[in-house]
Amino acid sequence: MRTILFISLLAVAPGIAAPAPNLYERARRASLEILVDDHLVGSGWFADPKGLAMTAAHVVWSGRRIEVLSPEAGRLAARLVAVDRGRDIALLSVDPRPEGYPVLPLAKAMPKAGNTIYQIGAPIFRHAVLIRGSVARDGTTFEYLADQKVYAEIIHVSAMTPRGTSGGPWFTPDGEVVGIQSGLMREGDAPVGIAFVAPLEAVRTLLSTARSAATPTFDAAIEEFWEQQRSYRSRFAARTEGLVVRSPAAGGAAARAGLAEWDLITAIDGKNVRYRDELLRAVRAKAPGDEVTFTVRRGGDADPRTVTLKLDRLERGIDGWMRRER
């Protein structure tokens, strides 16, 4: 009796619902592999039967010749329609066909932390591999994509997602898409089992508008004060909080305003900040061209200073490039 009860509890426990019997085949038929200049660089899927497909922005951002490999429709030329670099999403299109394309629909809502979700992609040049994970936290956060030098707003998913899965869909056991694979948390060169996934609502927005985002950026990375070594922290008073400027881009908004490596930002527009997400959400609430004011301390200086900068756009240049390609 105890064994029967245990099995019954597993069957109804939240987060471990059994997948639909045909889930793999449905996902495989709608999945895509992304080729750039004949090189397999990532994954994707058809989101609309008329030929709209989605992948990660970093997979196709370079703007070279893009194609998709479909298990149903073969090798097809693809066009870049729109990008959202602030969530690492790209919208592609291929020529329509009379019978349409198999799709995975978008979910109505994001599952809560602990729920099982699945991804299909092409890890390390393998094909149509199904990966299982679970939502690792509720709500979005920001992760720095070092190769792209941008912050992406993502959700955390507990899963090992090798190279090549970028752009592949994450979906529920019912086959409804909840996000797009973007990256993976690492300790040095070693992955630690936390995937970065573009959030559902951003995917929905790009698909419905088919317009590139206008994501504000100050063109620098940041780290929280308590991440730093003692040699840096000891330069400031006890209980200091804020965000440390790292790698300001040459000629970018931060550098133009005079911010430098190791400057400490303690407030934005007069509001104190201690967490990375606080500062980035405040910036993302603005628009490119808007001004923000940082309160900054350099070294152990007793008196903070204010720095006002004009925000840039992460997607700058993409609209002109797409007009030329068309």
- Residues 226-271 have pLDDT tens digits of 999 999 999 999 999 999 999 999 999 999 999 999 999 999 999 9
**Residue 183 phi/psi, 5° resolution?**
-160, -165
Q: How far apart are CA 189 and CA 34, in angstroms?
A: 25
- Topology of domain 116-209 in CATH is Thrombin, subunit H (2.40.10)
| Average pLDDT of the residues of the chain | 91
Average pLDDT over residues 32-52: 97
Task: Supply the Cα-derived Rg of the chain in whole angstroms.
Answer: 22
Tokens of 274: 């201690």
Q: How do residues 132-174 score in pLDDT, each as one tens digit?
A: 999 999 999 999 998 888 999 999 999 999 999 999 999 999 9
Are 118 and 23 contacting, i.e. CB atoms less than 8 angstroms apart?
yes
Residue 304: φ, ψ to 5°: -75, 160
Separation in Å, CA 266 to CA 65, 225, 303, 320: 44, 10, 12, 37
CA distances to 168, 177, 221, 298 from 144, in Å: 19, 24, 7, 23
Comma-separated ranges of CATH 2.40.10.10 domains in the chain: 116-209
Ranges of beta strands (E only) in 228-280 are 243-246, 264-268, 271-272
**Which runs of consecutive H residues, i.e. helices, occur in 152-311?**
200-209, 230-233, 253-256, 276-284
- pLDDT at residue 193, rounded to an integer: 94
Q: Do 118 and 132 contact (CB within 8 A), yes or no?
A: yes
Pair 184, 191: CB distance under 8 Å:
yes
| Fold type of domain 216-313 | Pdz3 Domain (2.30.42)
- Own/partner contacts of 256-259, CB < 8 Å, gap of 24 or more, are 256/309, 256/310, 257/307, 257/308, 257/309, 257/310, 258/307, 259/218, 259/220, 259/294, 259/296, 259/307, 259/309
211-225: average pLDDT: 97
**What separation in angstroms does the CA of 49 have from each of 104, 107, 212, 260, 293?**
9, 16, 21, 49, 46
CA distance 238 to 224: 15
Above 80 in pLDDT, residue 326?
Answer: no
Alpha carbon distance 209, 201 (integer Å) = 12
Closest to 76 in 3D by CA, of 94, 60, 56: 94
% of residues, the chain, pLDDT over 90: 83
In the chain, residues under CATH classification 2.30.42.10 are 216-313
pLDDT of residue 190: 86
**pLDDT value at position 302?**
65
- Write down the pLDDT at residue 2: 44
Query: Does the pTM of the predicted model rise above 0.85?
Result: yes
Cβ neighbours, 10 Å, residue 1:
5
State the burial class of residue 162 (Cβ atoms within 10 Å of its Cβ: 0-12, 13-18, 19+).
Answer: middle
**pLDDT tens digits, 100-118:** 999 999 999 999 999 999 9
DSSP-assigned beta bridge partners for residue 264:
244, 297
β-strand partners of 271: 268
DSSP letters spanning 125-164: G--SEEEEEEE-SSS-EEEEETTTTEEEEEEEEES---TT
Q: What is the pLDDT of residue 184?
A: 94
